[in-house]
Structure 1
């Protein structure tokens, strides 16, 4: 069986802030924001994705900030641009479900209503991630 050209190795939660007011309502509109940056290391054949998720609601009864680090490995390539779509388009989409589950689990254990984020299409993060990625030789 051949291994994928781009592999997810794991992740770490670097910072976690979850502030819930007990008056939080089920219908309060969630505002979800993202910040991304990355590091491609050509020598180690690794890509590290820093993905931050910021969630607030319209009533200011919810504040969630999660900073995470996803680790990926890729196969040697002649030109890094040949696999850059894996970095910019796929890495955030691979990491985000783990953050969704983390937020859902912690808010569920809080004794208040669990915050279950929707599945999101994160392709719009690709351009920002590309601008905020450094490539090390």
Structure 2
């Protein structure tokens, strides 16, 4: 069995903004952005997911950051960035999805449940 190329070390919810509107808001283009960063020695990486969601009575924005350790034999920054963008975002997205669902259910029986995503197609949209 091959060793993983990135190791998930945890995540933080950096920002969460929630606004409930008594009148239905105009649906907008929901968005999920992905940003990556590496340390200078290529041993650590981070993935930032930026979510905007505006549907029905809810207007939400959320930023979640995941922290990763990079396999020691990898030293090509573009290759590592690709792993972080695809694999890292796929590892981090369920945490964002779960946190959003839980937080939006605190004052309503209608929790926001984001769909599962194909990170390959998301990555291609941002390239």
What is the TM-score with the length of structure 2 in the denominator?
A: 0.80
1-structure distance, mates of 2:114, 2:28: 9
Change (3 A) 1:123 1:103: same
Secondary structure at the residue paired with 1:109? coil
Could you tell me how far apart the structure 1 residues matched to 2:21 and 2:65 are? Answer: 28
Counterpart in 2 of 1:114? 111
Q: Contact 2:47–2:85 (CA<8 Å) still a contact in 1?
A: no
Which residues of 2 match residues 73-92 of structure 1 at below 5 A?
73-76=69-72, 77-92=74-89
- Post-superposition offset of 1:18: 1.4
State yes or no: 1:93 paired with 2:90.
yes
Question: What CA distance in whole angstroms lies between the structure 2 residues aligned with 1:18 and 1:111?
Answer: 13
- Correspondence 1:32 to 2:30: yes
**Aligned partners of 1:88 and 1:129 also within 8 Å:** no
TM-score, normalization by structure 1: 0.75
CA distance, structure 1, for counterparts of residue 22 and residue 111 of structure 2: 12
The number of equivalent residue pairs is 126
Higher RCO (CA-CA < 8 Å; seq separation 6+): 1
Provide the alpha-carbon RMSD of the alignment: 2.8
Q: Which runs of 5+ in 2 are unaligned?
A: none
> Which residue pairs with 1:65 in the alignment?
61
CA contact (8 A) 2:47 2:88 kept: yes
Instruction: Mark the runs of 5 or more structure 1 residues left unpaired by the alignment.
Output: 131-137
Kindly indicate whether the alpha-carbon contact (under 8 Å) linking 2:100 and 2:113 is maintained by their aligned counterparts in 1: yes
Aligned partner of 2:15 in structure 1 is 15
